[in-house]
Amino acid sequence: MTELDITAVLGGVVAALRRAGVRAGVDPRDLNPPCAWVTGRSIAHDLLGGGGTVTADVYLIAPDTGAAQALWALSGMLTKALTVLEPDGDTSLSERVTLPGGGGPLPAFRLTLDIETC
């Protein structure tokens, strides 16, 4: 049986985003918008031998500098992210994320990815 390394799966998404020029991480304490937060949502144990499909959410987060500036920053990150990621389904354009460092909710887009592991 193969061990599921969810940290490595999410780390692969972070690495791809960074190669595309998007600051990204899995620990929200380390994020400084504009950036992407990669988090695991669920896993479907659908492969023999212990593999499965990890569902991950990628939140593209902008500073709260007004709607027009936030949309500009989020759209730029989305354009870069889509060069390395293939989301499953629609991208949510009306998310809000509160980071642990304090402050209010920040504007965000959400992409969902299904990543098969072996």
What are the helix and strand counts (H, E) for the chain?
A: 2, 5
Instruction: Quote the percentage of the chain above a pLDDT of 70.
Output: 92
Percent above pLDDT 90 for the chain: 81
Contact call for residues 14 and 113 (beta carbons, < 8 A)? no
- Residues 13 and 16: their CA atoms lie apart, in Å, by 5
Residue 5 pLDDT: 85
Which single residue is written with the structure tokens 């870069």? 80
End-to-end CA distance of the chain: 10
Q: What is the pLDDT of residue 2?
A: 54
CA atoms of 113 and 20, how far apart (whole Å)? 17
State residue 52's pLDDT score.
Answer: 83
